[in-house]
Amino acid sequence: MISLSGIKPTSTPHIGNHLGMIEPAIALQDEYDCRYFIADYHAMTTVHDAAKMREYSHGIAAYFLAFGLDPKKSIFYRQSDLPQVTELMWILSCVTSMGLLERAHAWKAAKDRGNEGAELHGLFAYPVLMAADILIHDADVVPVGKDQVQHVEMTRDMAERFNFTFGETLKLPQARYSETLHTIPGLDGRKMSKSYGNTINLMYPPKKLKQQIMSIVTDSTPIDQPKDYANCNVYKLYKLFATPEQVREIEEKYRTPGFGYGHAKLELYNVLMEKTETPRKIYQDYMDHPDLLEDVLRDAADRARVKMDEVLERVRVAVGYRSRFAR
Ligand code: TRP
């Protein structure tokens, strides 16, 4: 069974990405044939700066490796190393109606906000490229954050329409996501998202991470009063990373006068630093040696190419193009 997913190199991953997609995706490593990639073609809709594109792409690769992606077990590649996907994208475009794309929540939201390249054809066509990413691997499952589930459903629509038109060729994938991980609160209590500027980024240098944590919004209950942990953003985040034992302890502290939000934030910081001690070292080591990352990516691209060529060949023959392997 094949598990496939991608992540855009538009920033350093934040806790929302981490819990929503990165950790669950890596966890499938022993059970599935995992193929994950840096979605740098997708990032092109918003990142128009070559240095940033390179930096964020390496950052994503280092991040996955730091948190346990095993490059021998899994295939972790860079989308733009395998332009086959853009060929499939074009073919899918020709069986995808404008109406389907106009219903995409992500595109509609960007358009309503009036930013993020919503006027670009690339952002409008984004779900078609994503469908190509998935279908070109015959993926069975697609671990994603909940916001991407609709795109996986659109992928199924495109595959069905293709199969209906040209005969059974493409495999229909299944999205895999966690309902409970949907709303990870950001610094201001709204859903953590890069577009809200309210993220916490685990691989930031300690000082910067601490600054983020210290700016979490809390209420104004005075220090000498018991506090309501259930509605506290610091507690909600703490709970996602601490052991049940630690959670019970901090609940007790919230109930005890004298314990302030500053203390709670410090405890959150400590838990995050503790959890990331080893990943931090691995991350930094890779970031200092981009050549090592490039080796991993090159090897992965070679392995991913095999499957992609096979599916693309099937598609080419189905639509009546010459087989790439025929003489
Ligand atoms: N659109 C996804 C996101 O923004 C990234 C992505 C691109 C992706 N291609 C994919 C995810 C294919 C899963 C499968 O998070």
**Contact (CB, 8 A) for 41 and 262:** no
- Count the residues in the chain: 327
Write the pLDDT tens digit of every residue in 196-230: 899 999 999 999 999 999 999 999 999 999 999 99
Could you tell me how far CA 131 lies from the centroid of its own chain? Answer: 15
Write the pLDDT tens digit of every residue in 99-137: 999 999 989 988 888 877 788 999 999 999 999 999 999
Mean pLDDT of the residues in the chain:
95
Answer yes or no: same fold for 2-183+289-319 and 204-275. no
Q: Which fold has domain 204-275?
A: Tyrosyl-Transfer RNA Synthetase (1.10.240)
Model confidence, pTM: 0.93
CB distance 152 to ligand 1 below 6 Å: no
Tell me, what DSSP letter sits at residue 324?
A: T
Question: Is the pLDDT confidence value at 11 over 70?
Answer: yes
Distance from residue 316's CA to the centre of ligand 1 (Å): 24
Q: Whose CA is nearest to atom 14 of ligand 1?
A: 5
Query: Which amino acid appears at position 258 of this protein?
Result: G
**Contact (CB, 8 A) for 186 and 202:** no
Split at pLDDT 50, 70, 90, the class of 181 is: low
pLDDT score at 186: 96
Active site residue 146: no
CATH number of 2-183+289-319: 3.40.50.620
Q: Whose CA is nearest to atom 6 of ligand 1?
A: 6
Where are the chain's structural domains? 2-183+289-319, 204-275
CB distance 308 to ligand 1 below 6 Å: no
Residue 233 has a CB neighbour count (10 Å cut-off) of 22
User: Mean per-residue pLDDT for 39-48?
Assistant: 96
pLDDT score at 182: 62
Which residues partner with 38 through β-bridges? 7, 78
Active site residue 111: yes
Which residues partner with 35 through β-bridges? 4, 75
CB distance 133 to ligand 1 below 6 Å: yes
Query: What is the full DSSP assignment across 191-213?
Result: BP-GGGT----TTS-HHHHHHHH
- Of residues 146, 171, 191, 239, which has the active-site annotation? 191
Which residues partner with 2 through β-bridges? 33
How many angstroms separate the CA atoms of 249 and 223, rounded? 18
> For the chain, first and last CA: distance in Å?
33
How many angstroms separate the CA atoms of 161 and 128, rounded? 13
CB distance 144 to ligand 1 below 6 Å: yes
CB distance 280 to ligand 1 below 6 Å: no
